[in-house]
Amino acid sequence: MENIKLPVLLSCLSVICACVLPLSAQEPVESREPVASLPDYGEIFEIISNQLPSISEQDLQHAALQGILTEFQSQIELESNSLKEGEEQDKQASIAKMELIAEKIAYFRLHLISKGLESILREKIESFRIENGAEGIVLDLRYADGSDYGEVLRLAGLFLNDAVALLDWGSGSQKAVVASPSIQLPLVVLINESTKGAAEALAGALKLIEKAAIIGRPTSGLAMLRKRIPLESGHVLSIATGKVQLADGTPITGKGVGPDIEVDISPTEQAAYFDDPYGELTSKEKESNTERLNEATLMRRQNDSNGTVEIEINVPPEGEQESNSQQNAIVDPILARGVDLLKGWTIFNRQWNR
């Protein structure tokens, strides 16, 4: 953390006292253990300043602010405000990454849920569907954040025909904003412990209305209504002022959103796979990946008195199969699970509708 001058510290303290303490008294965001009586901060500050001249006043200010931000990290964030408002808005309303994977699956990685994202996402999904014949969608919300809960209503509305109640962030249950026609492609949403704010609210809303399979790890539970207060230093103090919950009363704040299919993987491994989902496979990963691909290419038969239903997948020659699978294999376990699910859905849907 950069050095913070005393006026900034005092400004932060006054804002925190005005916003966070009343919130804690009326409706705490999270329960806290009782704190034993402590000596006065000013007294400690003065003693340290007099007895330890090697510690500067600036060092003490820095440590005090760092302690405040750490102690109340779920309720208080100190943000840098390096972009102008218009520039920030332009950057936010975009898709971080999009590509066609596994031949006919449209992959979208979102970084920040903000105003205007719904119209951009609708346009790109339609483009993949019409131009590339996309048969499924992966919406990657890992490491995504945001505070625009109104945009969540519009994003979820992409997949709905009716305006059903989705979220409550302090003003009663709010309904999805539906714009016809709705998107009918099967949807998988990827989440992890770093899915926060409006991003985890979107995952929760899509799970509530059963319009997506949620895969990955439980989200952070940091979805909150926030007030952003500019400081003289150019920083912005973000204060939690209210809770967020699903329309059925299920809390997101403090609880997070659990996946339908949980993948056991460490945060370090997740970050590495997220940066390079097609990374070089280790010998162990190659063995695991080959097994998964071979299972996916098996012929499945269902024999009954009415006959036989067969699902066949063309398998390339052995040497060619090994080369292609290693070159294009997705080694990110969470993404791979989502892709397999969509492939399976597409295959069985085709057979069912024959």
| Residues paired with 103 in a beta bridge | none
Same domain, 171 and 41: no
Phi, psi at 21, each rounded to 5°: -65, -45
Same domain, 205 and 108: yes
Structurally, how many domains does the chain consist of?
3
Q: From the CB of residue 293, how many other CB atoms can be counted at a distance below 10 Å?
A: 18
Residue 100 lies in a domain: yes
Same domain, 125 and 268: yes
- Residues 328-340 have a mean pLDDT of 94
For the ranges 73-82, 150-159, 337-346, which has the lowest average pLDDT? 73-82
pTM of model > 0.85 = no
Domain limits for position 34:
6-73
Same domain, 58 and 149: no
Residue 234 lies in a domain: no
Residue 81 lies in a domain: no
CATH number assigned to the domain comprising residue 194: 3.90.226.10
Tens of pLDDT along 279-318?
A: 864 544 444 443 443 333 322 333 333 333 333 333 344 4
Identify the pLDDT of residue 322. 40
Residue 1 lies in a domain: no
Same domain, 30 and 139: no
Q: Is the dihedral of CA 143, 109, 335, 178 positive or negative?
A: positive
In this predicted structure, the answer to whether residue 187 has a pLDDT above a threshold of 50 is yes
Separation between Cα atoms, residue 78 and residue 227, nearest integer Å: 12
3-state secondary structure of 149: helix
**Final residue of a structural domain among 73, 104, 128:** 73
* CA 308 distance to own-chain centroid: 43
Separation between Cα atoms, residue 221 and residue 334, nearest integer Å: 20
Tokens read off for 353: 């509708």
In this predicted structure, the answer to whether residue 254 has a pLDDT above a threshold of 80 is yes
Task: Kindly state the helix (H) or strand (E) to which residue 90 belongs, with its residue range.
Answer: helix 85-92
